[in-house]
């Protein structure tokens, strides 16, 4: 029995499902998850000594690659100065300055400890600022596990076949409305019925939790116009896309300004982190400047701030060009491999995040994503894992490319993909 299997057996007696986040349990793809002992660059090494090329990247934060020497050095230096102060420190100011410098829509930012905390706080702020209660979200978009978001919530919930979550009260769900991603008419219909009650629209500007689904032309612009017309706020959830798809996030890529934005993943360089920010008039409603309360014992943690700063400093123009080149080669190669094998498929990519859908046409929303051939993806996943390529263990997830991936890594991945597709025809 492998050490991973032994650990998984132990873990299932101690942790729900044997994991601390559901998708790690391999429910959608079957088998035993490898337990990772270490990681470097784009390579994971499990407790049995097997190595894997990694396309999870800790679900997005590791854009520079695992254990990048500049990031680890920054963390080590910060740790020697103390791991938490419970008081202000210089690094949180420096990271805030970096975010504000890069993102034109953000005048002020509040550091928190997770993407869930960031989105939850942003919605609370939007409700306070507008004195309204209704929030519009989109089927298949995931904004963390706060109660009001666990309604048609995308990847993790969809992977497990859970349409909603027990424990979410009717009261918590009452003020959430669900629209169809890439369908402006579905949003307009909600505004037509109750526009005077809508506090905010929250959206992943590039959906990453039904697989990667880009916005159709005019969709984000239409959301901006609807919010402006009805006095609602527009919130971009850039926890996944922030500083990954563009130096200023998806809002920089599409030249749009939301009222509030949420961030995570990349700004922590692999350590727990989140942030939300926006215009000064909105952010000064947050305590202690204003009446909207939000606090956190470890917010602005110096280790996370150091890791995030070091990561952002690596993301210059050349870095984004490199990510684009490697990601485009992976996209083209996967499409070609599927064509050669006669397997209907589409690869949807924005920058260095992508998803291979076993689906004949484009995927524009959660309904389309659910029609993809997920059993085929499970077989494909298992075949690649056997060949040392670790994909996200669900067809509803994004793959992530890092600066540590290169042409040789991509070619190895494509060779494994071709072999898997030929065997699975």
Give catalytic residues, as residue numbers: 142, 237, 265
Q: 216-224: long-range contacts at Cβ-Cβ below 8 A with a sequence spacing of 24 or more?
A: 216/182, 216/364, 218/184, 219/182, 219/184, 220/254, 220/256, 221/256, 222/184, 222/187, 223/184, 223/187, 224/256, 224/257, 224/258
Between the alpha carbon of residue 125 and those of residues 225, 232, 282, 346, 391, the distances in Å are 21, 12, 8, 38, 36
DSSP secondary structure, 237-283, as one string: E-TTTTTTSSTT-HHHHTT---SEEEEEGGGGTTSS-EEEEE-HHHH
Burial 24-45 (b: 16+ CB within 10 A, else e): bbbbbbeebbbbbeebebbbbe
Q: How far apart are CA 167 and CA 151, in angstroms?
A: 12
Burial class (CB within 10 angstroms; exposed 0-12, middle 13-18, buried 19+) of 235: buried
CA dihedral 115→117→120→124, nearest 10 degrees, is -130
């Amino acid at each position: 029995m492998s050490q991973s299997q032994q650990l998984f057996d132990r873990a299932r007696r101690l942790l729900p499902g044997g994991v601390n986040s559901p998708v790690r349990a391999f429910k959608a793809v079957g088998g035993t998850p490898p337990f990772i002992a270490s990681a470097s660059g784009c390579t994971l090494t499990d407790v049995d000594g097997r190595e894997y090329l990694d396309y999870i990247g800790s679900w997005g934060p590791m854009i520079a690659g695992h254990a990048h020497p500049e990031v680890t050095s920054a963390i080590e230096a910060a740790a020697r100065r103390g791991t938490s102060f419970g008081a202000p420190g210089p690094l949180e100011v420096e990271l805030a300055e970096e975010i504000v410098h890069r993102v034109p829509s953000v005048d002020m930012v509040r550091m928190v400890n997770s993407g869930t905390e960031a989105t939850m706080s942003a919605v609370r702020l939007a409700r306070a600022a507008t004195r309204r209660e209704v929030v519009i979200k989109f089927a298949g978009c995931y904004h963390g596990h706060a109660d009001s978001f666990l309604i048609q919530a995308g990847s993790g919930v969809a992977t497990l076949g859970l349409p909603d979550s027990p424990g979410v009260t009717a009261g918590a769900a009452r003020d959430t409305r669900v629209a169809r991603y890439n369908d402006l008419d579905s949003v307009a219909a909600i505004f037509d019925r109750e526009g005077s009650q809508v506090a905010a629209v929250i959206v992943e500007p590039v959906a990453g939790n039904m697989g990667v689904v880009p916005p159709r032309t005019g969709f984000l612009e239409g959301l901006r116009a609807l919010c402006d017309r009805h006095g609602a706020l527009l919130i971009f959830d850039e926890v996944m896309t922030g500083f990954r798809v563009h130096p200023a996030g998806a809002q920089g890529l599409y030249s749009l300004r939301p009222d509030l934005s949420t961030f995570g993943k990349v700004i922590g360089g692999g350590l727990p982190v989140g942030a939300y920010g926006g215009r000064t008039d909105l952010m000064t409603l947050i305590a202690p400047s204003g009446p909207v309360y939000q606090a956190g014992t470890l917010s602005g943690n110096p280790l996370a701030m150091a890791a995030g700063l070091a990561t952002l400093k690596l993301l210059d123009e050349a870095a984004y060009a490199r990510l684009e080149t490697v990601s485009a080669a992976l996209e083209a190669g996967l499409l070609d491999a599927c064509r050669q094998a006669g397997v209907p498929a589409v690869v949807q990519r924005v920058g260095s995040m992508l998803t291979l859908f076993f689906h004949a046409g484009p995927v524009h929303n959660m309904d389309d994503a659910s029609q993809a051939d997920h059993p085929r993806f499970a077989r494909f996943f298992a075949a690649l894992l056997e060949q040392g390529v670790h994909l996200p263990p669900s067809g509803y997830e994004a793959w992530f490319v890092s600066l540590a991936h290169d042409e040789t890594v991509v070619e190895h991945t494509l060779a494994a993909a071709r072999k898997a597709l030929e065997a699975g025809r």
